[in-house]
Amino acid sequence: MAHTIGWRYFPHMRAELLIAASRCILASFSLLAIWLDPSEPARYAALAYSMMVGYVVYSLAVIVTVWHIPSPIKHFGLITHGLDLMIFTVFMFFTEGATSPFFVYFVFSVVCAAIRWQWRGSAYTTMIALAAFLGLGFYSEHIIHDPSFELNKFIIRSVYLIVIAMLLSYAGDYLQKMLDDISLLAEWSHDLPHDAPLLVSLLLDRASAVLRAPRALMVWEESEEPWLNVAYWSRNEFKLTRERPDIFGEIVSKNLADKDFLCLDGNLSKSVVLYESGDCFGCDEEGEVLDAALQAQYVIGAALSFKLQEKHFQGRLFVLDKRKMTCDDLVLGKIVAYRITMILNQHYLFEQLHRMAIAEERIRLARDLHDGLLQSLASIGIKAHTADRLMDRDPVMAHEELIQIQKLLSYEQRDLRCLIQELKPEQAILRNPDASLYVRLSELIDLIKNHWRIQVQFKMRSAEDRFISTTIKQDIYFILREALVNAAKHADASTVSVEMGVENHHVTMVVADNGHGFPYFGHYDHETLCSLHLGPVTIRERVAGLGGTLTLDSRESGACLTIVLPLKE
């Protein structure tokens, strides 16, 4: 199999196979033509016939070679192309010279050269073929004085060869330009920076490279910002500024506000404008195509302009001073503008998600501080006031109040120390988020034991956690931490048991303690807890946000939390 699929993976080898097949067909039917009607003069008929048989064998050998080679052979196309030109010249010499019917072989060579090397190949091949053809004509007319030589046919064929070469050169050049444009589009980096000025500079640089222009300008407004962003790029300069929204008037004329267009010269009072109109292109003369202040500040002459519009921003991209603009540039520019729009939109979405993540973390931290530290400080303030009043009347009671204050301060100090340690970047949970969940939870339990002086029994039914995403691991960590701290701080528990398992695409955690339970006793499912606003608030909200369920059993001898989370993020 490896010897039969090599040509399929290389475009130039597929072209070689097509050329080889065409050569074989052309040679075979030429042999048939010579056999049916031998060429003149008669003394060369046998020789021409023998040469044609050899050429058919050669063409078959080339097909077999191209089909079976596993990878391209260096200079294979150049070697076969040179042999073809030499053989075709010999064929014409031994048949009827410049008037030979094998003249079509020269045309075949020019077409093959255009397929292989685009316009350069067709141009150089035409020069070689034309030199050989003119030489044959000169030999027939002035050396052997062939009476069958026809000057009119000779001139027509010469011009025909030149015209074919011109057409193929244009087609080859156009194809090469399209391939270059596709390559430039494919070179857009996917590893884009998050820094806005650097990102915009890179986008304008790539847009100018794809459209082959020396300068680019982008003007846009963000939906939630009262500023006009103006980015200017050239080979030697980049500048990104924020201007007043009214610094420019209408960026482009109202007739072109919803169009992508090219303007031949923005300096003129009336300029020719080419724009897309449905399935075709329209062309008009427009007065004041661009805002006068914008045009004067950036000296805009020839320009391509494309609209940029998304939910988070809208504006215009200008590609400046491109030479020889065509409607093809409008089509290519639309692709570039669409790419820039998508990248900028992705950037703004990332920024929005980043802000939301920061806000969510701040809310979580504020909730933890409010539910824990602030409430305890309020309680400490009340107890301090009580102790002050009892200091003179009942020193023993005042001393007990001070002991309670000291105990509360010790609890909150431990809780705050845990919270600060979690926020430090060197902690294992932040340093190595891809570590085994069992290892991370074991580290958490050791931390709780050391700070709260309670016994924690931990059992994980399966240490296999490769189906649990990093995000879910993080949430499991915080939920269990909150449950353990609550048991130690609020329930005065001395022993807590934690059991965890993964099955049926769900994570199940059971946390049971020997404390005094919640202020209310009984069994409460998730819906009841949410409707009555009961249970540990932080855990309940975090579990609900993950699409999981929380079940609570509260008794005088302790409480039990059953938490079920889906594995999907």
Residue 93 within any structural domain of the chain: yes
Q: Which of 323, 348, 373 is the last residue of a domain?
A: 348
Q: CA–CA separation, 387 vs 47, rounded Å?
A: 127
Q: 357 in a domain, yes or no? A: no
439-444: average pLDDT: 82
From 242, 239, 223, 221, select the one nearest 231 (Cα to Cα): 239
Question: Which pLDDT band, with edges at 50, 70 and 90, does 196 fall under?
Answer: confident
Does residue 421 sit within a domain? no
pLDDT one-digit tens code per residue, 242-264: 988 888 888 888 888 888 888 88
Domain count of the fold of the chain: 3
| pLDDT interval class at 538 (50, 70, 90) | confident
Tell me, yes or no, whether 444 and 555 share the same domain.
yes
453: DSSP letter: -
Give the pLDDT confidence score for residue 418 in this predicted structure: 64
pLDDT digits (tens, 9 = 90+) for 323-348: 888 888 888 889 899 999 998 988 88
Residue 211 within any structural domain of the chain: yes
Same domain, 28 and 162: yes
Contacts 24+ apart (CB under 8 A), 192-198: 192/343, 192/347, 194/347, 194/350, 196/240, 196/347, 197/238, 197/240
- Report residue 428's pLDDT band, with 50, 70 and 90 as the boundaries: very low
Residues 86 and 200 in one domain: no
User: Tokens at residue 169, please?
Assistant: 């050169």
Tell me the three state secondary structure of residue 77.
helix
Same domain, 31 and 177: yes
Are residue 214 and residue 175 in the same domain, yes or no? no
Helix%, strand%, coil% for the chain, nearest 5: 60, 20, 25
Residues 125 and 246 in one domain: no
How far apart are alpha carbons 327 and 281 in whole angstroms?
8
What range does the domain containing 271 cover?
A: 196-348
In a domain, residue 380? The reply is no
Is the domain of 261 the same as that of 338? yes
Assess whether pLDDT exceeds 80 at residue 442: yes
Same domain, 21 and 170: yes
Q: Looking at the domain assignment, is residue 396 inside a domain? A: no
Specify whether 158 is located in the same domain as 54. Answer: yes
- Domain C-terminal end among 348, 372, 396: 348
Tell me, yes or no, whether 130 lies in a domain: yes
Instruction: Pick the last residue of a domain from 130, 164, 185.
Output: 185
Answer yes or no: do 336 and 449 share one domain: no
Residue 426 lies in a domain: no
- Considering Cα of 253, then 257, then 259, then 261, what sign does the dihedral take? positive
DSSP for residue 284: E
CATH value at residue 299: 3.30.450.40
290 forms beta bridges with: 252
Q: In the structure, what pLDDT confidence band is assigned to residue 436 with cuts at 50, 70 and 90?
A: confident
Q: What is the 3-state secondary structure (H, E, C) of 92-144?
A: HHCCCHHHCHHHHHHHHHHHHHHHHHHHHHHHHHHHHHHHHHHHHHHHHHHHC
Whole-model pTM? 0.58
Rounded distance between C-alpha atoms, residue 481 and residue 13, angstroms: 64
Same domain, 159 and 226: no
Backbone angles phi, psi at 395, to 5 degrees: -60, -30
In this predicted model, what pLDDT tens digit does every residue of 145-181 receive, in sequence order?
666 667 777 788 788 888 888 888 888 778 778 877 8
Domain of residue 441, CATH code: 3.30.565.10
**In the structure, what pLDDT confidence band is assigned to residue 268 with cuts at 50, 70 and 90?**
low
* Same-domain pairing of 160 and 212: no
Q: What percent of the chain has pLDDT over 70?
A: 83
User: What average pLDDT does the chain have?
Assistant: 80
